[in-house]
Structure 1
């Protein structure tokens, strides 16, 4: 069983402007195996990545989700999403990561894995801060002067200029479909006019550029050419790995403490239910213990438990 459970803080749901109901907001990070630059933003790769996201949004019969922002750096990706149910997050990420891996593997003729880590966002203010963080990925790494200059597969062209985020999804039949990624309004921003929303996004982007300009000058670096990142060798990796510990939630210190207490309580109940499930597999006459609310049963158990519930 994983050390950290996938849990939700139900009282920290935020109102979705698109769905008109409260949702769980998560920032998701997925990293490429061995930190290789396999998502380097060549035009074909940008089309693949946008295509997977656009196709995921068409699969509403399987799952539905808000997509507030995203950013694919060369060796990792960030998504800012909203879901009505916790299990929807797992379904979305399982499908998106699998399809990205399948297509990038074929492009590079290698095996790519993208394990993901999702952190709940607990307030509208923290959600806007996380969107700002995503928008500034390349600028913070001094790869671009300003978020508006980015060539990576990301939401910035739509957020700042209203440009369509187009991609190509190749179906199993071999048919290629051009798709467009839909960006949804963040909770708290649904009432803004398009002009006011774009002005806010530019305010965020200009602030990001101003924040990192002194760093670039202090390092004696020239204004970066955004196109240069397209030519990075995908079989290389960062020379240095500067990683700070991730918070358990994007929220206040009090919410961090609340999450830890909730996780400890749920983990105990989850462990008991998991053990009972394995015992039931060995002997179906034994009783099952329900997995606690606010958690997701392990993927290998979901289908069996769903079939059992449907059979009565």
Structure 2
């Protein structure tokens, strides 16, 4: 819920939420991460409210609604079918003007090697107009308590030969790949981007700084290394970055699920070093705003969006248009009609 004292900044600025989840009946393993078991189009629209001009969103895979039967490598197609159905509901106009799920980032397991080409075919067929990319998280840390065994990918997934053989099929397809690593493993994202310099890669959650477990209380200490790693990745022109993910449990922040919720000023003060650094390194044309809801849980969308607008207040009007909508529209080839008008 938004704080009653939050008035929208730049209320007419078009916004594309470049990453959020839509899920239903999530597993016991994933539920603690998301904080709920169901988050559908109505829930998302209630979260958005009407204070900011959100014109579209990108629904990202969330390990939900997989098929119960069939070949193991194709069960993830069920989630894409589900997301496409939610997006079709939004496209009817009956839920309002926001094109929820205008783009879909689908799940894929590149460890399937040459079978990835078959997975691609089925995923594309499940959402031929809305599928814009794929994501396979490579979440690992030396402290196993941080992830609690949720992700079974092993260390340095993006360097593994089997993964790289499968990823080559995505690189040839022209679809984007969303790369998700924790900050200590940013070198793996750099390895992947350098290995496939023509593949469009979108780094999730500003490289996901972490402040829990063995990293608790060390955000300031680890910030310089995060910045060095981000600078190396920014030198890869095929990589863009999502500005978000700082409102999840991984940051170890007191803002996470705070009651009462924090103000946008408080959020901006805490997140500014990461967001401003990312914009400085990548430039506005390679940065895109995201809510990462429901994983990011720091209150209402209006407050969260205001926080990012406060951080970017020093940007030019054109830079803000890119960060909040233009970059996502271009990178993911959304072709949102409102953004094509002069």
Bin the TM-score by the shorter chain: under 0.3
Higher Cα Rg: structure 1 or 2? Answer: 1
TM-score, normalization: structure 1?
A: 0.24
- Greater relative contact order: 1 or 2 (C-alpha under 8 angstroms, separation 6 or more)? 1
TM-score, normalization: structure 2?
A: 0.23
